[in-house]
Amino acid sequence: MKVSVIISYHNEKIFINECLDSLEEQINKDFEAIVVCDHSSEEAMAELRAHPVSFPLTILELTDGSGVAAARNAGIRASQGEYILFLDCDDYLEKTALDFMIRRSEGQDIVYGRKRGTWYSRKAYYENLQKQEEINDAEAEEDEEEETQADRSMPEIRESDSEWIKVFCHIVRTGSMITGLSVLGILFRREYIVENGILFGEDYTYYGDLPFIVQAMCGTERVFEVRKILYHKRYHNDPINMPALSQITDEKTRLMEIMRAYLVIKEHVKGQDDRAEIAVDGKFIRYYVKKIARYYVTAGAKDAQEVYTEAAKCLPLIRKEAKKRAMLYSRRLMKRSMKREAKAVAKMVRRHSALQTFRRVVTKKSECKKYLYRKIFTKMKLKEDLVIIESFFGRNYSDNPKYIYEYLNKAYPGRYKYVWILNKKENLPYPATRIKRFSIRYFYYMGRAKYFVFNVRQPKYIIKREGTVFLETWHGTPLKRLAFDMEDNASASPFYRRYKRDIYAQTRLWDYMIAPNQFSLDVFRSCFMFDGEMLSTGYPRNDILHLEEKSKAALTAEIKQELGIPDGKKVILYAPTFRDDEYYDHAQYKFALQLDLDLLRKELGEEYVVLLRTHYFIVDSLDLTAYQGFAFNGSTYNDIARLYLISDILITDYSSVFFDYANLRRPMLFFTYDLEKYRDILHGFYIDVEEELPGPMLFTTEEIVDSIKRLPEVVDRYKEKYDVFYEKYCGWEDGNASKKVVEAVFGK
């Protein structure tokens, strides 16, 4: 047996299957796996046992001791392979990982393969996102090059140097601090490890890897590096409910452990190539400056002193050459630290950080505004009669906030002053101050308004002051899984890595949420972990869809005229959502029209026109010049509810628009050309679309044409489903949602 793969497992049952699959698909099968269960729950054990594998798999349960170190040591003791490799149960290997390493293992004690962090599940990675990841990789490699060049703490390494020093420095360099040292994905010759008594310190909770890897590296020159990424280290996107070890905040224990590990590392690395010691010292300095010294500021006097005393043992061991490479501030800080008390060092850190803030504030306009917001505007008296309102990041005057504002003005004329966040010119029917998002006035009013009415999340730095009332209307009945209900998070990555942590913090600010139906109410409670007051009122934005027929007809004529849509033609509204994997940047998405407009015009042009409406995240604009008189662009029109009113048929896909449109009881078709990818890879749905959708799912324009030509038959076929759907999702809507919301929030 060539390799024993040692997997430590606690209760991470949502990850273990993919981890084992990655072993199952190894092209080199000369291995066994040992899963060491660290006091796992019954459920987690059942999940593990139920997973079918064709390779030899031993399941060990820790009886005494606990933690990753104890689990890995137990794994070493039980292993039979010539080599051992540590794999975390939430990570996965490249299919070629073992093969690459085994082929290079002849005569080596250590074979090192590279690893990379990822936010993607294995499935998402292989089926869809590999391309994007490759781009990221290329970028990461470039960054790494740059970083290496700029990383003054690292000693110079030449191509002609020994493999040992090259690999050692690579391992040290890959983490920005000393905490980055890891044993994962490395082949160790078992006999070498056992004979040298290299074990994980079971008294470490977080950093048992550090002494292990350094001791192993320092005992041999027989080291080889495979310069390929073989190991995928998965970041956990839910640090609130399922934190990875690295996401647990337990600052003092961490600092004390690192310093203890540093002392052990120093003993091993002494007498090796000097540069190895300098590299380690450089990373330790960084850790000292970024974490340890800062701790003196945040901790109580006793804890700070304790950490300081431990640091006083480490600092004198740092080599002069490493200190010389450090920044001036770091050098000064260390010098002070060796002479003075924790309190004095804390003072220096505080001063340094104030200086940095000052520099940021005077050089960057956006930072300056945020600073004023934090330090001045939010300290001024709250304006009790001020309501600040925004819809879709200030993109337009629309959605629930629009209708709440209009009702407020009707119900309580003159009682409130309004500030609308609008990035473009819009006519408002009642007086309001218009401001642009992120302008200085935005920060001023955000700091002083008593009432917030928003339909999306707000920036992380927004503070909710004592006395502020935050009404979050949200913007749709969810079909796509959201936030804490999403296991994987392809959309958020790679631009938005702290997605769930941020969502948790942001949703803590909400006092009220609006639920359009019971289904949404339940989902919002779970996906946002929302425990504030839920208003079971229906959506204000849908009130307009419940006007009397006469008013609807008058409005329809007005809106059609506004858009230049000919009177005698029926309107097909096509309103798809965005695709999470087709983007330019955060909240800037591409759009590729899949509808064949030529065919639609040819087959339906006599009777219909098409109104196209892209999602508010889409930045590509549609060129419809070739379809004048037939295809109309409604993408920049502010309020989609008004487009619903004028259309006779809705075509959509996975957008929540269909839950609202159903209020009109008009026909709906679902153009779901990429259903499998969207549902199974990108998002995941809350409902079974095959079962519940009140219209046919269609995959080509031909099918759409056919359905429209046979519309009465289609409508008839879906009648029962439509009734059930209406009852479930539109049952609360009666045209009075705005009134109910306003009374609940402002009527007190």
Mask for 380-419, x = binds ligand C2G (CB under 6 A): -------------------x--------------------
Q: Which residues pair with 34 in a beta bridge?
A: 6, 58
Sequence-separated (6 or more) residues with CB below 8 Å from residue 28? 2, 98, 99, 102
**Interaction with ligand C2G in 214-243: which residues (CB under 6 A)?**
none
Of the pair 419, 513, the CB lying nearest ligand C2G is at 513
Closest to 169 in 3D by CA, of 260, 272, 267: 272
Given a contact cutoff of 8 angstroms between Cβ atoms, the answer to whether 661 and 693 are in contact is no
Beta bridge partners of 189: 83
Contacts of 289 (CB under 8 A, 6+ apart): 326, 329, 330, 333
Q: How far is the CB of 114 from ligand C2G (least distance, A)?
A: 35
Q: Smallest distance, Å, CB 635 to ligand C2G?
A: 8
For ligand C2G, the closer of residues 102 and 640 by Cβ is: 640
d(CA 411, CA 225): 72
The residue within the footprint of ligand C2G, chosen from 185, 208, 447, 476 (CB under 6 A), is: 476
Cβ proximity to ligand C2G: between 179 and 656 the closer is: 656
Sole binder of ligand C2G in the list 542, 656, 663, 738 (CB under 6 A):
656
What is the DSSP secondary structure assignment for residue 109, as one 8-state letter? S
Q: Which one among 395, 500, 613, 740 touches ligand C2G, defined by CB under 6 A?
A: 613
Phi, psi of 552 (to 5 degrees): -60, -45
Q: Which is nearer to ligand C2G, 133 or 399 (CB)?
A: 399
Between 275 and 683, whose beta carbon lies closer to ligand C2G? 683
Q: CB of 740: closest distance to ligand C2G in angstroms? A: 20
Torsion sign, CA atoms 110, 116, 121, 124: negative
**Could you give the 3-state DSSP secondary structure of residue 673?**
coil
The rounded distance, in Å, linking the Cα atoms of 96 and 81 is 18
Stretch that binds ligand C2G, among 341-349, 413-421, 655-663, 733-741 (CB under 6 A): 655-663
Whichever of 322 and 631 has its CB closer to ligand C2G, that residue is: 631
To ligand C2G, the closest distance from the beta carbon of 732 in angstroms equals 16
Q: What stretch of H or E contains 451?
A: strand 449-454
Quote the least distance from Cβ 520 to ligand C2G, whole Å. 7
Strands ordered across the beta sheet of 83-88: 57-61, 31-37, 3-9, 83-88, 186-189, 110-118, 223-234, 92-93
Here's the x/- map for ligand C2G, 415-454, by CB under 6 A: it reads as: ----------------------------------------
At its nearest, how many Å lie between ligand C2G and the CB of residue 55? 41
Q: For residue 359, what are the contacts with CB-CB under 8 A and spacing of at least 6?
A: none
Task: Count the site residues for ligand C2G by CB under 6 A.
Answer: 18
Interaction of residue 614 with ligand C2G, rule CB under 6 A: yes
Element (H, E) at 465: none
- Which region, judged by CB under 6 A, interacts with ligand C2G, from 315-323, 422-430, 653-661, 720-728? 653-661
- Beta-bridged to residue 512, according to DSSP, are 471, 533
In the bound state with ligand C2G, the residue whose beta carbon lies nearer, of 278 and 640, is: 640
Interface pick for ligand C2G out of 552, 590, 615, 677 (rule CB under 6 A): 615
CB 256 within 8 A of CB 291: no
Applying CB under 6 A, among 4, 409, 489, 655 the residue interacting with ligand C2G is 655
Q: Judged by CB, which is closer to ligand C2G: 208, or 538?
A: 538
CA 469 – CA 748 distance, rounded (Å): 12
Residue-by-residue DSSP string for 53-89: -SS-EEEEE--S--SHHHHHHHHHHH--SSEEEEEET
For residues 312 to 341, the per-residue mask of contacts with ligand C2G, x marking binding by CB under 6 A and - elsewhere, is: ------------------------------
* Chain length of the chain: 748
Q: Does 640 bind ligand C2G (CB under 6 A)?
A: yes
Of 262 and 589, CB closest to ligand C2G: 589
C-alpha closest to that of 524 among 587, 575, 474 = 474
**Closest C-alpha among 233, 334, 236 to residue 282:** 334
Helix/strand/coil for 539: coil
Contact between 634 and 621 under an 8 Å Cβ cutoff? The reply is no
Supply the minimum distance, in Å, between the C-beta of residue 586 and ligand C2G. 14
Residues from 557 through 596 that contact ligand C2G (CB under 6 A): 575-577
Choices 246-254, 329-337, 353-361, 612-620 (CB under 6 A): range interacting with ligand C2G: 612-620
* Rg of the chain on CA atoms, in Å: 30
At its nearest, how many Å lie between ligand C2G and the CB of residue 387? 21
**Residue (120 or 474) nearer to ligand C2G, CB:** 474
515 vs 742 by CB, closer to ligand C2G = 515
Find out whether 466 and 459 touch, Cβ atoms under 8 Å. no
CB of 657 to ligand C2G, least distance (A): 5
| Cβ nearer to ligand C2G, comparing 20 with 453 | 453
- Give the burial string for 412-430 (b: 16+ CB within 10 Å, else e): eeeebebbbbbbeeeebee
Of 83 and 671, which CB lies nearer to ligand C2G in the complex structure?
A: 671
- For ligand C2G, the closer of residues 38 and 399 by Cβ is 399
Is residue 383 helix, strand or coil?
strand
Alpha helices in 675-736 (DSSP H): 675-676, 689-692, 701-709, 711-717, 719-730
Tokens matching residue 713: 């038959």
Q: Which stretch binds ligand C2G (CB under 6 A): 231-239, 506-514, 607-615, 737-745?
A: 607-615
Whole-angstrom Cα distance, residue 108 to residue 110? 5
Identify the CA nearest to 232 among candidates 87, 124, 85. Answer: 87
311-319, 436-444, 474-482, 495-503 -> range binding ligand C2G (CB under 6 A): 474-482
Query: Which segment (176-184, 262-270, 423-431, 472-480) binds ligand C2G by CB under 6 A?
Result: 472-480
Q: Indicate which single residue of 113, 282, 478, 540 sits in contact with ligand C2G (rule: CB under 6 A).
A: 478
| Interacting residues with ligand C2G (CB under 6 A) | 399, 474-476, 478, 480, 482, 575-577, 613-616, 640, 655-657
